[in-house]
Structure 1
């Protein structure tokens, strides 16, 4: 019997979970950050970053094929010993908790700035943590269904942004490579924050019902994320001048001010409230998988006690301290650097080691 059969998820749920983890509050400021690095050629960096991410994602799948019925920690315990698996579980839990906290902080700051300016940060955090606990406590299968639901009710959003195209100036995008390839390549590292999260496959893989479709599902997920980022970035670049967009902190929100409906006065507020649902797919799965790591570390089957401890810790910390927007940006930059090492470099190194190990064992048996 499969060890993780109880919480199995479908390929579709896996696609939406992975894509949801990748799309975070960074989504709002991404066009500005790309424009600062590469001007209106920044959208090309998104495609290059996507190609690198797909390659790294496929490496993760190849690693997990070495031990398909277990997580990364089960695999490391088998190949490198019990303490290596435990160390990896501890470090990966820290990474996921930091990822979730960064997303939560950005969501709290955004909510206070646009929706509830008179409400304290601790109350806003509590409002976000309550549904987080309700969803995360029920396990991965419920998380997968939640991701499917959020995707279905979000399909209308791209069509609203099409309304701004009547005032777009497509000449802003031309000529391509205004200053050559170097600015584009310099913007590629900026895109990695847009795609980190795919290494959660190290945990999700044994829960997949159809593991033969894992590679295809992961490529579809990364591509779905890329098209989402690419769509909104090109619209912002076409609507704003190359210099104007660099002065806007959140161009994706600012652009909504040009859209008018008779039945809605402040459409930006409506969208931000709805975007919080989408961004919850970043921190809720990260929190669940973080407590999954700690539960595995202590040999516990029930993750809910660890989830409660983390819940109270986050609520308590926010009562005393909440990072500013600048500090949040520094947190995101640090997360990008750490994420590049964990999600892009580590899987490749591990795959090389596993290949050498298996080859050595075969020669030994001959």
Structure 2
């Protein structure tokens, strides 16, 4: 049975709607269209839908694992199934995954800043500025991070109204013909969708901080459904506005659509997108950094501040080691394989191992009787 922390440290199950959705909408929302179109073309929306639906199964598996975990998190589940030593080794891999997540997000956002706004700014300085903001928020604890997740959805949601402008120039014939691609094409698009949907895996760490977490699953599914609908909407708008040939060669389709927006009081509306997007990347970065030092604290009893600063230093050097645009694409490709392996292979394997563990435990009790 999973552990429930004292009420002063927890948040309402309703906030799962913001905790999960905010960690799924990062920099990928600016450029996912150019990745998914390489497989199924105009039919890539099918892959977006299928992957979104498949995450409901992953969330169900996560909840089953967490409800059976001793402390309600993945760290204690590892030790429960594999013992202390092997369990802690697996926790280290999960810690490295957290660092890779925050490195990928920060470096991708820096790439946007350098390309569109600050072409002569050094990477190390932008990295330090972003990490300073993230660290300041993480020091506030999980409830502060939950607040950032809330506002990281509410404020940027204003930008959804700006899609009215590209909708005026959309050619819906770009979506035709329908269902004229092979299974292999749909698989390529689906594989490129996985990274943009990543984020529910943080639930494996903060589950004990959810009040009445045993009954909170519906909010996780509602959040996932909203994310799927949002990505489908942006996919349809992008495919209607751009041709398939254009999407294959545009790096940031969402930002390119914002360039057509004109107001008397602002000429370059894409700058509004870019700077408001800081609120979009903060939630997953804060959650990954907080999750990283919590893994060290729970697994190895490290002090919170030391493990936090240790994680920040590692992330900074990882970020500045990614120099070129090609390196950014490579780390994105690498994270796609890592995330898909973790969600679609490791989580189901843990589920099967837990079933075996429970069967042996039950048989042992029956044998003892």
Q: Structure 1 residue 243: deviation in Å?
A: 1.6
Aligned partner of 2:330 in structure 1 is 330
What are the equivalent positions in structure 2 for 1:229-268 lying under 5 Å apart? Answer: 229-268=231-270
1:71-82 equivalent positions in 2, closer than 5 A: 71-82=73-84
CA distance in 2, matches of 1:361, 1:2: 20
Give yes or no for contact 2:34–2:251 (8 Å, CA) kept in 1: yes
Provide the secondary structure at the position in 2 that maps to 1:259.
Answer: coil
Aligned-pair CA distance for 1:3: 6.4
Give the SS at the match of 2:244.
coil
Counterpart in the other structure of 1:312: 313
Q: In terms of mean alpha carbon deviation, does 65-74 or 217-226 score higher?
A: 65-74
Map of 2:25 onto structure 1:
23
Corresponding position: 1:114 with 2:116: yes
Partner Cα separation in structure 2 for residue 281 and residue 83 of structure 1: 32
| From 290, 293, 296, the counterpart of 1:288 | 290
Counterpart in 2 of 1:174? 176
For residues 304 and 226 of structure 1, the distance between their equivalents in structure 2, rounded to whole angstroms, comes to 36
CA distance in 2, matches of 1:226, 1:318: 29
Q: CA deviation at 1:316?
A: 5.1
Mapped to 1, the partners of 2:80 and 2:331 lie a distance apart of: 34
Listed as ranges, the matches of 1:1-366 within 5 Å are 4-5=5-6, 6-67=8-69, 69-300=71-302, 302-315=303-316, 321-366=321-366
Task: Give the structure-2-normalised TM-score.
Answer: 0.93
Where 2:112 maps in the other structure, the secondary structure is helix
Work out whether residues 40 and 172 of structure 1, in 8 Å CA contact, stay in contact via their aligned partners in 2.
Answer: yes
Aligned counterparts of 1:142 and 1:133: Cα–Cα separation in 2: 12
Q: 2: distance between equivalents of 1:222 and 1:353? A: 26
**CA shift at 1:115, angstroms?**
1.6
* Count of equivalent residues: 364
| 1:96 Cα deviation from its structure 2 partner | 0.6
Deviates more, 1:150-159 or 1:266-275: 150-159
What's the CA shift for 1:181? 4.5
88-97 or 336-345: bigger deviation: 336-345
Give the drift of 1:67.
Answer: 2.4
TM superposition shift of 1:175: 2.1
Q: Structure 2: how far apart are the matches of 1:236 and 1:355?
A: 43
Note if contact 1:21-1:286 (Cα within 8 Å) is conserved in structure 2.
no
The separation in 1 between residues aligned to 2:198 and 2:118, in whole angstroms, is 29
Cα distance in structure 2, aligned partners of 1:39 and 1:70: 41
Contact residue 20 and residue 278 of structure 1 kept, 8 A: yes
The answer to which of 11-20 and 262-271 deviates more is: 11-20
Aligned-partner SS, 1:65: helix
Runs of 4+ in 1 over 6 A off after TM superposition: none
- TM-score, normalised to structure 1, is 0.94
Report the Cα distance in structure 1 between the residues aligned to 2:343 and 2:217, rounded to whole angstroms. 16
> Is residue 168–residue 238 contact of structure 1 (8 Å, CA) maintained in 2?
yes
Task: Please list the CA deviations of residues 232-283 of structure 1 after superposition, one character each: whole Å capped at 9, or x if unmatched.
Answer: 1111100111222212111111111122111110001111111121022222
Taking a change above 3 Å as real, the CA distance of residues 68 and 265 of structure 1, as seen in their structure-2 partners, is farther
Runs of 5+ in structure 1 lacking a partner? Answer: none
Give 5+ residue unaligned stretches, structure 2: none
Gap change, CA 1:193 and 1:175, over 3 Å in 2: same
Aligned-residue offset at 1:68:
6.2
Confirm or deny: 8 A CA contact 1:100 1:283 kept in the other structure.
Answer: yes
Inter-partner Cα distance in structure 1 for 2:244 and 2:343:
32
How big is each residue's C-alpha offset from its partner over 1:12-44, in whole Å with a ceiling of 9 and x where there is no partner? 322212222222212222111111111111111
3-state DSSP class of the match of 2:181? coil
Q: 8 Å contact 1:137–1:303 — kept in the other structure?
A: no
